[in-house]
């Protein structure tokens, strides 16, 4: 979605994005029309080109709408979350990296998810973007082993999922 933005810039604008895209509700975003797209694109604070906004709307439609080539993700998997987590066997994965240079930009899981998303009509969802999404959403915990947050993130993942020995 925001491939030329760094996470700091995205997080600074998070509230503005949430407002522009109505709480990121795909049911509402999928119904946005040309006027809505133009208004969001014209907002210079968001720094989103019209093609990006249009892509976000189209991706929301992919979640909600079926066609001959696209399966209805929400109907087939119960929710977009169910679809996404299905690629991870419904459990987070912990990378036990000691140095940031070893953290991958993409993985076989992100490549598979990317291919499937593209097959379903999603756009701007290459394997690097998908892996960043996986990190940001907690599907992958890539804090360095020496990071003060590593143990806490693993504990929270285990607690949230009711499991021990989160996948490594």
Binding positions are 143, 147
Bridge partners (DSSP) of residue 93 are 140, 167
Q: Of 120, 127, 137, which is closest to residue 61 (Cα–Cα)? A: 120
Find, among 133, 124, 77, 67, the residue nearest to 106 by Cα. Answer: 133
Cite the annotated binding site for Zn(2+) by residue number: 143, 147
Cα-Cα-Cα-Cα torsion 7, 55, 126, 19, nearest 10 degrees, comes to 30
Q: What is the 3-state secondary structure (H, E, C) of 131-154?
A: HHHHHHCCCEECCCCCCCCHHHHH
CA distances in angstroms from 34 to 27, 39, 40, 49, 108, listed in the order given: 16, 9, 10, 14, 37
């Amino acid at each position: 979605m925001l491939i030329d933005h760094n996470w700091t810039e995205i997080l600074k604008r998070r509230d503005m994005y949430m407002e522009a895209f109505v709480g990121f509700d795909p049911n509402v975003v999928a119904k946005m029309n040309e006027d809505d797209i133009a208004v969001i694109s014209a907002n210079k604070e968001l720094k989103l080109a019209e093609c990006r906004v249009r892509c976000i709307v189209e991706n929301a439609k992919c979640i909600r709408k079926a066609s001959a080539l696209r399966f209805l993700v929400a109907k087939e998997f119960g929710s977009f979350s169910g679809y996404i987590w299905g690629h991870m066997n419904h459990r987070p994965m912990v990378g036990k990296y000691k140095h940031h240079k070893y953290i991958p930009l993409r993985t076989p899981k992100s490549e598979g998810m990317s291919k499937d998303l593209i097959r379903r009509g999603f756009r701007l969802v290459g394997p690097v973007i998908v892996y960043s999404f996986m990190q940001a959403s907690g599907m992958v915990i890539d804090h360095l082993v020496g990071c003060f947050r590593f143990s806490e993130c693993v504990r929270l993942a285990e607690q949230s999922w009711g499991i021990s020995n989160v996948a490594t």
